[in-house]
Structure 1
Amino acid sequence: RTEEWRPIALEDSLFTELSQVPYVDQIFPVVQKASLLVNPKKDMFEGVQIQGFTTGNFEYFREFFSTNGGPIDGRYGCWISSKLAASLRLEIGDTAVLTVLKGQRGLPRLINTKIYGTYTSGLDEFDRQNVLMSDVDVRRLNGWNNDSVSAYIVHLNTPEQRSTLSAYWNALVPYDLQVSALESRHPAIFGWLALFDTNIVLVLAIVLIIALSNLITALLVLIIDRTRMIGMLKAMGAPNRMVLQVFQWLSLNILVKGLLIGNAVGLGLSALQQWFKWIQLDPSTYYIASAPIHFDWAWIIGANLAFILVAYFILLIPVRWIARLQPIQSIRFS
């Protein structure tokens, strides 16, 4: 990425080397231009950043947006966000005016642009500032040749490698270029996500403690209720190990039934949310329009098995109390 007024063009060999780095899905060139978007009929305007993409790249990004409209057919046609359209009272098919400077100190130019569609990314800041246009038209506005771009957007298969790869690429590109990870460009979003992850761990820990407490309580009630039976089994010669195993299996039976019911309810509600998105969120606060659901089956199965293992050993504590019961006292217990 460079300043807007300084176009860049990576050498083919360097571009190929960057593209072949592990974890890289695609690299998209983007051409940018600062502008004012004006609704001449309403005498309203907003400062925007024009983002120029190729047709193929634009269709790729549409997979991540909620969109409404058709392809850009005419010269200087554009897509704007639904938020920007509402702010300027523009609709699909309307003609707006772009006010741009040709060159760093050039005179303002007024360019008519037709609105071919609207999008919603879920990121309030992005939606308020960005207009999408053909890269050919943006190069024409900048007065650049066909090889010049403003920046390259790198999409990774493994987003966790952003920071590592940005440091690696900074060592490869020329000194006057800079590679920056998404975290450094949008720290507020990633700070919020980190806080959200912390809350998830805290909530899961609280749920685990409550669940184990309920299991121990249920098992103790079961042992107390069956105290006379325990005494009779011991009086008939049953060793402590056999009696312990009976209550271990009873505790596992309670645990597995609870997990089956809990998983059925939890996964069922999650599936309903994934299909119908009935829990809505404010995008300006949460950066998304609805609560997202992702089914990581390996994590779900692993969490269930881990909980069974932890609960089994925790439940050994009340079960061990059975070994201390004396047969005569147990039979007399009421």
Structure 2
Amino acid sequence: MQLEWFLALRYFARAEGQREGRSFVRFITYVAVGGVAVGVAALILALGIVRGFSQEIEGKLMEVGAHLRVVSYTDDPLSDAASLQDQLESYDAVRTVDPVAEGVVIARAGADAIEGLVVQGTNTLPEAVRRTTTHPDRTTPQGVLLSTSIAERFAMTPGDRLTLFALDRGAGSGAAALQPRVQQYDVQDTYATSLDFIDDTFLFMGLSDAQQLLEFSDNQVSRLDVMLHDVGDIEPTAKTLREELSFPATVRTVYQQYAGLFAWINLQQNIIPLVISTIVIVAAFNIVGTLLMMMLEKTREIGVLMSMGLSARGVQRVFLVLGAVIGCTGSAIGAALAVGAGWIQQTYGVIPLPADAYYMDTAPMALHASDVLLVTSVAIVLCVGAAYLPARVASRIDPVRVIRFT
């Protein structure tokens, strides 16, 4: 073992002064290591939570919506939906195409429970909706599916009758032409996606029932939901479809459909790790004070070693190595704490969240090995950089003056 490493490890293991009242050096060494550990753990956990939020919310949006939506430039339904569906299914990147009939209705359950909702008719329930029903293996809706929140507001349970009012889309103009169309449906099941803008607004039924209620023909739909084999093909496929589809059809991506939520996700990914990383920076620069105090305590020993042939560069390396040892120890402890806490959260979900604000009931966690390695590496580099100033000061000690006056 080189002399510099031996001295650095000895100073770290026995970080205490020899004079009265100097045992405080050991305490601040522990504080320096603890500061690095807390900073590293906090940053790794912050990255894990941010990644977890991103993956969870993006996954739910992909499940409740579609990668691409083919819609009309106007408010009118898409006509000749069958041929348009065949055209979309001919692309290699496309996995499935589902026609959807959607419109605003008035829902009534009893004399006082009246509310405006959006009916969505489809042959295939969205994954996030299907998974939370009492029959998750049933992909095609039967009757009407209400969210648990709507069912609670209407005081309804499966088996009850729900009355829906839709405006007649017949010819004519003016209030006299807006004749309500009334249909009654059995509530077959409930769902809960934890996405308020879905749960508080949408009810689901079969495509043919929705077309009849909304006065669509058999070949008319509000849109076509397109799912791709690879999420990475969303933008290229959308660009291709916009160029090749005939007017009035156009394409909207899931990122355009939920632009506000994706902007929120990006804000978390960019800002939160930057803010939390200041903990690591502050902890690293605490090492400056720790090493300066240690240098003052070991001044006589350094002078003796220099008089015995240890070069100024060697003294500098001792304190640089000491900073690296503190950084490695604190980083290892912090990484272990973060991985342990992350595993507990992933397994048991001990940190709850209000679902109405965060779209999930527990804090998500997605720890990546690359994040752990990156954070610990940066922390060690910062600790070595912070040790440079004390190392430079220590290397300029005059051994003759130190030995004579101490």
TM above 0.5, yes or no, is yes
2:253 equivalent in structure 1: 181
Paired with 2:317 and 2:385, the residues of 1 have a C-alpha distance of 13
Residue segments in structure 1 that go unaligned for 5+ positions in a row: none
Q: Is the 8 A contact 1:228 1:332 kept in 2?
A: no
Query: 2 CA distance for matches of 1:327 and 1:157?
Result: 72
Q: Which residue of 2 aligns with 1:94?
A: 160
Q: Does 1:61 align with 2:131?
A: no
Q: 1:102 to 1:275 in 2, by over 3 A?
A: farther
1:139 counterpart = 2:211: yes
**Paired residues of 1:99 and 1:110 also in contact (CA < 8 A):** yes
- Inter-partner Cα distance in structure 1 for 2:157 and 2:377: 53
Aligned ranges 1:178-217 → 2 under 5 Å = 178-217=250-289
- Name the residue aligned to 1:294: 366
Q: Are residues 321 and 304 of structure 1, via their aligned partners in 2, closer, same or farther at CA, if it must alter by over 3 Å?
A: same
Q: 1:272 to 1:148 in 2, by over 3 A?
A: farther
Match of 1:45 in 2: 114
Higher relative contact order (CA 8 A, sep 6+): 2
* CA distance 1:245–1:147, shift in 2 (3 Å): farther
Distance change >3 Å, CA 282–CA 92, structure 1 → 2 = same
Question: Counterpart in 1 of 2:313?
Answer: 241
Percent identity of paired positions between Structure 1 and Structure 2: 24
Q: Unaligned 5+ residue runs, structure 2?
A: 1-70, 171-176
Matches of 2:297 and 2:237 in 1, distance apart? Answer: 62
The question of whether the paired residues in 2 share the 8 Å contact of 1:97 and 1:110 is answered with yes
The Cα offsets for residues 222-276 of structure 1, whole Å up to 9 and x where unpaired, read as: 3233222221211111123333333333222211111122122222222322333
Whichever residue aligns with residue 50 of structure 1, its letter is V
**1:248-267 aligned within 5 A:** 248-267=320-339
- Tell me the CA shift for residue 68 of structure 1: 4.1
Asked if the contact 1:77–1:113 (Cα under 8 Å) also holds between the matched residues in 2, the reply is yes
CA contact (8 A) 1:76 1:112 kept: no
Whether the 8 Å CA contact 1:7–1:144 is kept in 2: the answer is no
What displacement does 1:304 show? 2.2
Q: 2:88 aligns with which of 9, 15, 32?
A: 15
Number of residues of Structure 1 aligned to a counterpart in Structure 2: 326
Distance 1:160 1:329, change over 3 A: farther
Q: Is it true that 1:308 corresponds to 2:377 in the alignment? A: no
Larger Rg: 2
Q: 2:169 aligns with which of 77, 80, 103?
A: 103
Which of 240, 243, 246 aligns to 1:171? It is 243
Cα-to-partner distance string for 1:181-200 (whole Å, 9 max, x where unaligned): 34443443334334333431
Deviations 1:23-67 (A, max 9, x none): x66544322232222212x5312211112232xx4263347x6x2
- Verify the 8 A CA contact 2:118 2:201 in the aligned structure 1: yes
- Answer whether contact 2:145 2:203 (CA < 8 A) is retained: yes
Deviation at 1:315, TM superposition (A): 2.7
